[in-house]
Structure 1
Amino acid sequence: MSDLHKAFLKRVKHQEKSLGLSPLLEDSIESPTSLNRVDSDSQLVTNSSEDDVKSKDEILMDAYHQAIRLTFPIIETYECSNLGISFQTYYRPPSNSKAPIFVCHHGAGSSSMTFCKLAPSLTETYDVGKNGESPGLFVFDMRGHGNSTMPKIVDFSLGSLTKDFEFILKKFLSSHNPKNSIYLIGHSLGGSILTNYIIENPECEYNFKGLVMIDIVEETAVKSLIAMPQYIKNQPKSFPNYQRAIDWHVKHVRLINNIESAKISVPDLLMKTQRGIVWKTNLEQTQPFWESWFTGLSENFVKCNTKNKVAKLLILSGHETLDTNLIIGQMQGKYQLIVFNNSAHTGHFVQEDIPKQLSISLIDFAKRNDSPAEYMKQELGFIPKWGGKINK
């Protein structure tokens, strides 16, 4: 292990300690012993009365709406008349022009609020001097998800989703005109969409500094699609209340391990109707487009770039088998790899399960690529010996 690598790991451990963290543990993760029993109909058994649940549901939804308002001061709808889609967006501006802006894209069946708990963690990690400094965070719901609408013709192809992102990004940058560096963060399918965007726009002159894919490997993703029909079939068609929906995600299928994050992200996936609490997104409609989502992802991730030279980071929740393109790319130093493999409480939704640890990785990645020489000197204690500049 090199001195540089040792210094980096030492810094990460120091930041975790300063934030009051044990390695890969979040305060709000529930232990398996606290899980309720599930009956044969996959309905969670609780001892609460219906009236009690209703009052808890009202409290839960009030907290959900308040969390969104406090986290994102700017909430806007972008109307795309050509497509007939309204895209819901949320923006937490940076404190100044030097702080980076993270533009995040969620995956299939998720929503923008999967990144909600990441926002305060990014600020806490970035503002080490307690000077009120904070990075920016821009998130949005892709078509047919969250509070964005669907066009008349159902189309979830990678090409169409990429064009959606191109429209949203252009609208965001023209509306707010930020001078900051921009880092693209994509979870699951979102990572594939962002990679495809850069592949299709190599001449782009936006101030992109980095591309981050969270928990997505082409080979693993393609294999996982085989199990998707059964997963969709086993999904409850509705829930009697939002609390049951959260319990299903956290305690039954364990998609999310952080209850505090689930209280925000899960309600955003659902809507209240006469039939109960139902899903906003019909995942069955996405099935005809699955083949287009991940084909060629690994090769594209390794080779994609723009005029400004985009640094790349792949973050995984656990050790997965990297395919040939990723293995060669890593050996050639084409991207950085981080694996959170020391905790049973870290699943596919890394940004929800361990937002504090993920924030440390993202902020270090941004600082290192925004100002490499300064990062080496101030953060790691190294002074470059080759002319004072570091090649990216």
Structure 2
Amino acid sequence: NLKNFNNRDYEPVSWTLYFNERKPVTINEDTFYVYAQGNEGPLLVLLHGGGYSALTWAQFTKSIISLVTCQVMAIDLRGHGSTTTKDDDDLSIQTLASDIANILESISNNRPVILIGHSLGGAVAVRSTPLITNVVAVVIIDVVEGTAMDALRSMQGFLRSRPSSFGSISKAVEWCVRSGQIRNLESAKVSVPGQIKTILNNTLGTDDLESEDESVNKNEKSTQLGGPMDTIVEGELSGSSVSQETNVTKSDKYTWRINLAKTEKYWSEWFNGLSSAFLEISAPKLLLLAKVDRLDKELTVGHMQGKFQLQVLTACGHAVQEDTPDKVAGAVASFLVRHKFAKPTVDFTWFMST
């Protein structure tokens, strides 16, 4: 209903509603930003998909913390969010996996780690697991080698269909929701600022939002990002009633944080061999999918052999953890309690898919 869309509030909200702190982790010349919540239990390390940021996990974090005793650390991957590295363009799967291993070696203190990754982040989780000694479980969300490789054929066309700039953060939030990119408005209001930057001075939308919020710690300086970029978020559009204007206008203030169109040379390696690598992980594994038909042959056989747990969630798009954060949290919490990795809270109930 177009009238309902027009009456909605698209004003962005601060990450401070969902995380206790945002802190830099410096590895050599690279500075990675992590968002943290909780101080007891296993460490859930959350890895976002291409074009997203750590804030894609905001609502999931709020929900999972209420269900099990755990600590959450959501990471802005190289080339994304507030993270800055000496080579933001190097998005090879080996580099991304090494980044996560180095970050955890620096700050995990040998706590039991559960790696949770969405889309590209799922591939990074799988590839970084052999590099990290204290990983006890792996959860990957809506990424399967076969369907991912098929989707790459149409990716450039999808990227070209997206607006390249926005007049305000709220306009970017509105586009993401009305296009179906993110189906949960409350999640989009906190996550979209982490996906865009100012055209003029390359500050992240998240930092612009903080500078307007008097309650935010004034000692943290806005992160300066890399050079001019223009495009994308990985995923799929559905049912869009929004015109796709791709020209930057003089009045537009924001553009996308990262141009994934320029990372095409890495796309195949992100997902090639992913199914076998996932099955080879000896730790308990959970695969969450938005549609059951996304399961490829190798994983179908592996699931029949009981090599991993499968959960299919409905009524959501590719950004599963944003569209249905409570369901994703419920499925993950039940997985953690079943394997005795985390203790349930008084609010915990066993997740039953519908």
TM-score by length of 1: 0.70
1:190 to 121, 130, 134: 121
Residue number in structure 2 paired with 1:85: 30
**1:216 equivalent in alignment to 2:143:** yes
Map of 1:51-90 to 2, 5 A cutoff? Answer: 60-61=11-12, 64-65=13-14, 68-81=15-28, 84-90=29-35
In 2, are the aligned partners of 1:117 and 1:355 still within 8 Å (CA)?
yes
Map of 1:234-253 to 2, 5 A cutoff? Answer: 234-252=161-179
**1:225 equivalent in alignment to 2:152:** yes
Residue number in structure 2 paired with 1:7: none
Q: How far apart are 1:33 and its partner, in Å? A: 5.4
**1:327 equivalent in alignment to 2:300:** yes
1:270 to 175, 196, 200: 196
**1:121 equivalent in alignment to 2:69:** no
**1:359 equivalent in alignment to 2:329:** yes
Residue number in structure 1 paired with 2:313: 340
What's the CA shift string for 1:60-90, capped at 9, x where partnerless? 34xx22xx22422232111222xx3211111
Inter-CA distance 107–153: structure 2 relative to 1 (3 Å threshold): closer
Residue number in structure 2 paired with 1:8: none
In 2, are the aligned partners of 1:91 and 1:136 still within 8 Å (CA)?
yes
Tell me the matched-pair count: 295
In 2, are the aligned partners of 1:104 and 1:186 still within 8 Å (CA)?
yes
Q: 1:337 & 1:266 partners in 2: Cα distance?
A: 29
In 2, are the aligned partners of 1:100 and 1:366 still within 8 Å (CA)?
no
Q: 1:89 & 1:221 partners in 2: Cα distance?
A: 27
**1:369 equivalent in alignment to 2:304:** no
SS at match of 1:139: strand
TM-score by length of 2: 0.77
Amino acid paired to 1:144: G
Amino acid paired to 2:80: H
In 2, are the aligned partners of 1:106 and 1:187 still within 8 Å (CA)?
yes
Inter-CA distance 196–317: structure 2 relative to 1 (3 Å threshold): same
Inter-CA distance 240–361: structure 2 relative to 1 (3 Å threshold): same
Residue number in structure 2 paired with 1:295: 272
- Percent identical among aligned pairs is 32
Q: How far apart are 1:277 and its partner, in Å? A: 1.0
Q: 2:268 & 2:126 partners in 1: Cα distance?
A: 16
Q: 1:153 & 1:73 partners in 2: Cα distance?
A: 27
Residue number in structure 2 paired with 1:389: none
In 2, are the aligned partners of 1:121 and 1:359 still within 8 Å (CA)?
yes
Amino acid paired to 1:280: R
In 1, are the aligned partners of 2:79 and 2:88 still within 8 Å (CA)?
no
Amino acid paired to 2:37: R
SS at match of 1:78: strand
SS at match of 2:31: strand
Q: 1:266 & 1:321 partners in 2: Cα distance?
A: 26
Amino acid paired to 1:72: F
SS at match of 2:81: coil
Q: How far apart are 1:34 and its partner, in Å? A: 5.0
Q: How far apart are 1:371 and its partner, in Å? A: 6.2
Please say which of residues 159-168 and 109-118 is displaced more in the overlay: 159-168
Q: 2:80 & 2:88 partners in 1: Cα distance?
A: 15
Q: How far apart are 1:379 and its partner, in Å? A: 7.8
Asked which structure has the greater CA Rg, the reply is 1
Please say which of residues 72-81 and 222-231 is displaced more in the overlay: 72-81
Q: 1:331 & 1:47 partners in 2: Cα distance?
A: 48
Amino acid paired to 2:184: N
Q: 1:195 & 1:356 partners in 2: Cα distance?
A: 24
Residue number in structure 1 paired with 2:133: 205
Q: 1:301 & 1:231 partners in 2: Cα distance?
A: 28
SS at match of 1:77: strand
In 1, are the aligned partners of 2:48 and 2:121 still within 8 Å (CA)?
yes
Q: 2:191 & 2:7 partners in 1: Cα distance?
A: 25
SS at match of 2:198: strand
**1:155 equivalent in alignment to 2:81:** no
Which structure has greater helix proportion?
A: 1
Q: How far apart are 1:149 and its partner, in Å? A: 1.5
Inter-CA distance 326–360: structure 2 relative to 1 (3 Å threshold): same
Q: Structure 1 unaligned segments of length 5 or more: list them.
A: 1-31, 37-45, 49-55, 127-133, 381-392
In 1, are the aligned partners of 2:34 and 2:75 still within 8 Å (CA)?
yes
